[in-house]
Amino acid sequence: MNAASPRAIEALNPPSLPELAYQHLRDSILDGSLEAGAPLRQEEIAGRLGISRLPIREALRRLESEGLAMLRPRRGYVVASLNREEIDDVLDLQATLEARAGHAATLRTNDDVARELEACLAQLDRITSRAPVDVNAFAELNLKFHDTLFESSGRPFLCRTLRLLRSNAERYARVAAGMLIDLRQSQAEHRAILEAYRAGDAARVAELCWEHRDATRTRLLDHLDKTNLETTPAGGK
Amino acid sequence: MNAASPRAIEALNPPSLPELAYQHLRDSILDGSLEAGAPLRQEEIAGRLGISRLPIREALRRLESEGLAMLRPRRGYVVASLNREEIDDVLDLQATLEARAGHAATLRTNDDVARELEACLAQLDRITSRAPVDVNAFAELNLKFHDTLFESSGRPFLCRTLRLLRSNAERYARVAAGMLIDLRQSQAEHRAILEAYRAGDAARVAELCWEHRDATRTRLLDHLDKTNLETTPAGGK
DNA sequence: TTATTGTAAATTGGATCCAATTTATAACAA
DNA sequence: TTGTTATAAATTGGATCCAATTTACAATAA
């Protein structure tokens, strides 16, 4: 028996309760079922998940350090919210880092990655060509396309930071994804990125990635301005 | 004066035990008293701080989500470590984000900020001109210079991410700061940044900030390669 | 001596209990 | 009616206790 296979062992162990609670709360925040400013009562969450408050507290602590929850001492956690400027901030940061990740990925172009990206685009084409577009499926494959590209950069910390940003951007970006984005335009941009990737033109990939994300930013901010959606509710008190 | 006014601070901001434990552990990791790979025993830490294990666990959870600690289920936390590629990753990211922050700050140039930056540089000049350079004082003021510039960008999330990166870079960068950096060269770069800032040349500030940080990156990696310092210890066992 | 195995100690993961503080409610006075 | 205050309920912050698992160690056999 070999003592040296920590990864394999790690893969086997069951998810801990804090991890479970974290996943649950994170999903609830990202899909909007927990609105910004909503209080996160430890007892209630614990009761709903059938566990004690302790793992909940660790999960909340993690959510806080990721920017999805806010702790007001002795008053408990609430779902964090972003105002217009902060959304702008996060999305600009996302664009910057995705450009950097795309750049790094292209410096070490790989055929397997190119094929995988191609497969994503093919599936995306099928989805967008159908009559009622399956928005969820589109979002999932869209995510996979970008993830495949960025993860191939061989820069774990950069990718980790990107995931963090996505957590904070996603609940707002979903609005844009569902309602505002021209799916065909988006696909055209994906194609351009893949072409530049294949050509090994890192600077071009960076530029395209930046524009691709920046388009989302612009659209989302426009949307926010038009609807005048209040993104910082009761919390202000 | 401000350091010792426990009552007023307590009244406004009661220090929670998890926060206290977090600060303690973070400091110990950053200044090297807790080496990479060292186990973080909950009971021992709790005993040393005179509190129970519960706040420790929340602190450890936070350290984990910030990348300073690693949790191996049922085996406890250990101090996280970065290998050469990961250090490169983090420092490149830092350079990228500082360039972005410098850019944003310069787009909204402010005289008060310029004066504060100038004051930092004046103090730094005094420090570097003395015979035995006070490295700690230099590091602190150096930090203040960058913080002042970046925080004036009006981009809280970007600054937050920069702080996160600094946590991960600092324990390695300190080597470079103490032994490798040409303080006068560094000061010259600071001057150039301030000049470009005053001129409102955002692109130039971004460029200079990037180079300024990238110099640290290059020097640190060179140092690592030369000393062949093993940055990923015991973990394998 | 060296490898193996069984047992004890140490350590984590989790639950329950208690104190302190905040929030909600109701009684009372202007 | 409206504002204030006293009291009760809810909620967080923290400590202690218990179970499950891992690690250390010693006894045993080859």
Residues B35-72 pLDDT 10s: 999 999 999 999 999 999 999 999 999 999 999 999 99
Mean pLDDT for the stretch of residues A201-215: 97
pLDDT above 90: residue A42 = yes
pLDDT at A131: 76
Residue with more model confidence, A12 or A103: A103
Mean pLDDT taken over chain B? 89
Mean pLDDT taken over chain A? 89
Measured CA to C1', the nucleotide nearest B72 is C12
Dihedral sign computed on CA atoms, order B232, B25, B67, B160: negative
Gap between the Cα atoms of A200 and A197, Å rounded: 5
* B16 Cβ contacts chain D strand, under 7 Å: yes
The arrangement of strands across the sheet holding B76-79 comes to B39-40, B76-79, B69-72
Those residues whose C-beta lies under 8 Å from the C-beta of residue A29, and which sit 6 or more positions away, are A63, A68, A69, A79, A171
Pull the structure tokens for residue A215: 């388009």
- Side chain identity, residue B48: R
* pLDDT tens profile A51-84: 999 999 999 999 999 999 999 999 999 999 999 9
**Helices (runs of H) and strands (runs of E) counted in chain A:** 10, 3
pLDDT at A99: 98
pLDDT at B180: 62
Q: Which pTM does this prediction carry?
A: 0.89
Chain B interface residues (partner A, CB cutoff 8 A): 13-14, 16, 18, 54, 57-58, 61-62, 64-67, 72-74, 85-86, 89-90, 92-93, 96-97, 100, 154-158, 160-161, 164-165, 168, 235-237
Gap between the Cα atoms of A111 and A116, Å rounded: 9
Mean pLDDT for the stretch of residues B136-147: 93
Measured CA to C1', the nucleotide nearest A52 is C15
Mean pLDDT for the stretch of residues A113-142: 92
Nearest to A65 among B66, B97, B155 (CB): B66
pLDDT above 90: residue A5 = no
pLDDT at B236: 36
Gap between the Cα atoms of A198 and B148, Å rounded: 42
Those residues whose C-beta lies under 8 Å from the C-beta of residue B36, and which sit 6 or more positions away, are B79, B80, B81, B82, B231, B232, B233
Separation of A16 CA and C8 C1' (Å) = 27
**Most distant CA atoms of chain B, gap in Å:** 57
* pLDDT tens profile B164-187: 999 999 988 877 766 667 888 999
Gap between the Cα atoms of B218 and B88, Å rounded: 9
Pair A228, A122: CB distance under 8 Å:
no
Best CA proximity match to A90, nearest among A233, A216, A222, A227 = A216
Residue B145: CB atoms within 10 A of its CB come to 23
Nucleotides of D under 7 A from a protein CB: 11-17, 21-23
Helix %, strand %, coil % of chain B (to 5): 75, 5, 25
In chain B, the percentage of residues whose pLDDT exceeds 70 is: 88
Closest-CA residue of chain B to A3: B237
Best CA proximity match to B171, nearest among B30, B27, B24, B25 = B30
* B51 Cβ contacts chain D strand, under 7 Å: yes
Asked if the Cβ–Cβ distance from B93 to A161 is below 8 Å, we say yes
Gap between the Cα atoms of A51 and A217, Å rounded: 39
Asked if the Cβ–Cβ distance from A10 to B72 is below 8 Å, we say yes
Pull the structure tokens for residue A174: 């979903």
